[in-house]
Structure 1
Amino acid sequence: MPETTVLDFAHAAMEAAPEDAAARLRFYERLADAELFLLLEAEPDGDTVSPQVFALEEGSFVMAFDREERLSAFTGAPAPYVALPGRVIAGLLAGEALGLGLNLAVAPSSFLMPPDAVSWLVETLGQAPEQAEARPEAFHAPGDLPQSLLYSLDTKLALAAGLGEAALLAGVTYAGGRRGHMLAFLGARPEAEAALAKAVSEALAFSGIEAGEIDVAFLAADDPSAVRMARVGLRFDLPEVTEDEQVLSPAAPGMDPKRPPKLR
């Protein structure tokens, strides 16, 4: 039986409820986070990639697949490709008047993403968290947070393998009386802090909450604030990286954030 992927499930939920904005946002979030196999004209040349472009009635599209087997089923023969996160592929296409064909004709999640949707996704992903300083005075149980946000946070943090130990979500009251919510990462690797803060920002953006806000902090597990949060908050354990898991080489196109791939 063919495997049903995360994108298949997210696409089916979106198709089943076309008026449900939350389902649509979850699909685009899964697309951005997924590793996709982009069909190329030729093997990558250093940091430069040359996607095959297909002229369809709806416009010009490149093709990407969430499984290598699906790419092979589409081409029917060996073909060059590169594995990249969906967000990186969207960044490549933004401003190029190119859309993205996902799993076209080979899976239930067959989908055409027009150029304007690609631009919207890149813009949404580009929203950066703001830095601020405030002194917490008290922590309490989280308020009535939407399930869509908790689901998005849980999914995002499940992808943060090896970047920290855990995260705690609690309500917070700051000096001066301002109240809100705080997500504190415990034992986070210093070089991963920006990426983890960005993940929380994206979880908010794709949860569909208008003017939503969660403050992010980085604490040691024995920090007094962490101990107080643990008594009243929700805990998310971040997955560990095992010795058997292989890490993609930073030299592969798109794997080094300081050297994004270029479109030929």
Structure 2
Amino acid sequence: MSALDDLAPVPFHDADAPQRARMLSRLADTELSVALLREPVHDAVELQIFDLDGARVALACDGEDRLADFFGQVVAYAALPGRVLAGLLKADGAGLLVNPGHPSEMLLDATMLDWLTGALQAAPETGEAHLRLTAPDADVAGVLGLPLAERLADLRGLIAGAALVGSR
């Protein structure tokens, strides 16, 4: 099981919106092994693009062993963070098939990758604010508790603690 599999108690396309958002967030931060047409030459890679029901998609897995298992042999691949791969595919107008045959299998079309890259680039507006910290709203804490715990687990040994607060 992988970190993506752990976030997939139900298939991606059957999950509710918050669960899909957590999976996409993890995908963006996961190193993916994407199939190539041939071994890279210098820094140039050529992704292997498949026609899947009329859509062009690349194939990537969250481990090179899964990629080799899918093809039944070792294949040329590039290891890229999900956010980088999403940007490359967006520029090419292609989609992405992730971890076929595993709990975290997902097919992201070009529209979804466009949304994902936009969400990853979003930044809050800068401005001046005078905040007063308060206890977090109970509903917000309930929704954010599990996703924050999952992300903070990645920082084990790097942080001593964390706090969830509200502001006014």
TM-score where L is the length of structure 1: 0.55
Residue in 1 that maps onto 2:90: 94
Residue in 2 that maps onto 1:62: 58
Percent of aligned positions that are identical:
38
> Conserved in 1, the CA contact under 8 Å of 2:32 and 2:79?
yes
Matched, 1:133 2:128: yes
Alpha carbons of 1:96 and 1:78: their partners in 2 closer, same or farther (altered >3 Å)? Answer: same
Q: Give the aligned length.
A: 167
Matched, 1:29 2:29: no
> Conserved in 2, the CA contact under 8 Å of 1:141 and 1:170?
yes
CA distance in 2, matches of 1:162, 1:45: 38
Matched, 1:142 2:139: no
Q: CA deviation at 1:18?
A: 2.8
> Conserved in 2, the CA contact under 8 Å of 1:101 and 1:111?
yes
1:172-251 mapped onto 2 (5 Å cutoff): 172=167, 179=168
* Greater C-alpha Rg: 1
CA distance in 2, matches of 1:62, 1:24: 20
Residue in 1 that maps onto 2:108: 113
CA distance in 2, matches of 1:161, 1:38: 28
Alpha carbons of 1:109 and 1:169: their partners in 2 closer, same or farther (altered >3 Å)? Answer: closer
Gaps of 5+ in 2: none
Q: CA deviation at 1:163?
A: 6.5
Alpha carbons of 1:113 and 1:163: their partners in 2 closer, same or farther (altered >3 Å)? Answer: same
Q: CA deviation at 1:44?
A: 2.8
Question: Of 3, 6, 18, which residue of structure 1 is paired with 2:3?
Answer: 6
Structure whose residues are more often helix by fraction: 2
TM-score where L is the length of structure 2: 0.82
> Conserved in 2, the CA contact under 8 Å of 1:14 and 1:27?
no
Q: CA deviation at 1:166?
A: 4.2
Gaps of 5+ in 1: 173-178, 180-264
CA distance in 1, matches of 2:92, 2:43: 18
Residue in 1 that maps onto 2:146: 151
Alpha carbons of 1:162 and 1:39: their partners in 2 closer, same or farther (altered >3 Å)? Answer: farther
Structure whose residues are more often strand by fraction: 1
Residue in 2 that maps onto 1:43: 39
Q: CA deviation at 1:19?
A: 6.5
Q: Deviation per CA, 1:126-174: give whole Å up to 9, x if none.
A: 11133333345x54432322423232333333334677654333234xx
> Conserved in 2, the CA contact under 8 Å of 1:14 and 1:24?
no
Alpha carbons of 1:77 and 1:90: their partners in 2 closer, same or farther (altered >3 Å)? Answer: same
